[in-house]
Amino acid sequence: MATSNLRIRKIAGALGAEISGVDLAQPMAAGLVAELRQALLDHLVIFFRDQTLTPAQFGAMARCFGEPIAYPMIKGLEGFPEIIEVAKLEHERVNFGGVWHSDTTYLAQPPMGSLLYALEIPPYGGDTLFANQYMAYEALSAGMRRFLDDAKGISSSAKADVSRTREDRVKTGGTQEARRDLTAEHPAVRTHPETGRKALYVNTAHTTRFADMTDEESAPILAYLFQHQIRPEFTCRFVWQPGSLAFWDNRAAQHNPVNDYHGFRRIMHRITLAGDTPI
């Protein structure tokens, strides 16, 4: 059983920490799980290197932190429906999810977090950016915070910028849900259920407008927020290696996989953990 000998090293000022001293393939004691969960809450995204995980081990590790749920758009692996393959192949030009976003905010209960495990990595590129949405909210003016504290955002699964990033995977392994427009209404600012902190909760991939406002009225405010929430000082960047694993808090962080490795393969496995209704 894996025991606690953690070393935690921040990788940027805003968020992100690399954790060493743990083998995620081994069963984890409750104390270790608690330490890792606290690290996630503190840093919003935590990274591990040099892990060797079968799908069964990956699933067991993820279940220590929550309930794995099926991704609505893509079928899971044979025998492991909670694990999807996130891939870009040599001939493809668009990468899966290649836009700033929080995962599946078009669901009534978006996931609390996601885990991404690297199998094949291009010789260069394919990094992932993350952004701290606590900081994004706190850096807004008092007037903008007052407006957003009472606002609701409408999220859609069919917004063009993100739906086109799923097209290659939907062709080969799409679900029936991939053909539908899934929508949900959530607070534009959500209160994190574990930390009690407020985080900006709109994203360019899924948020289409504010409730009780038209698309045209919403557009200039959202355009400002979409640029504001990914300011460089709110972000970190992770360089993948085979065997790397990232675990991010979807309730207070956004992410964006960089599409700069045309002609090469990038193959990952991802598990999504069930969340709650944002408040």
Question: 101, 169, 206, 269: which is the annotated catalytic residue?
Answer: 101
Give dist(CA 157, CA 139) in Å, integer. 28
Give dist(CA 38, CA 149) in Å, integer. 27
Catalytic annotation present for 164:
no
Give dist(CA 115, CA 274) in Å, integer. 12
Catalytic annotation present for 186:
no
Length of the chain: 279
How far is Cα of residue 110 from the mean position of the Cα atoms in its chain? 10
Closest by CA position to 236, among listed 260, 251, 256, 262 = 256
Question: 251, 255, 266, 269: which is the annotated catalytic residue?
Answer: 255
Catalytic annotation present for 63:
no
Give dist(CA 169, CA 210) in Å, integer. 30
Q: What is the largest CA-CA distance in the chain?
A: 56
Catalytic annotation present for 270:
yes
Question: 190, 192, 269, 270: which is the annotated catalytic residue?
Answer: 270
- Two tokens at 48? 């591990």
Angle at 44 between CA 261 and CA 72, to 5 degrees: 65
Q: Which amino acid is at 76?
A: G
Q: Which amino acid is at 73?
A: M
Question: 37, 103, 168, 169: which is the annotated catalytic residue?
Answer: 103
Hey, which residues are catalytic here?
Answer: 101, 103, 255, 270
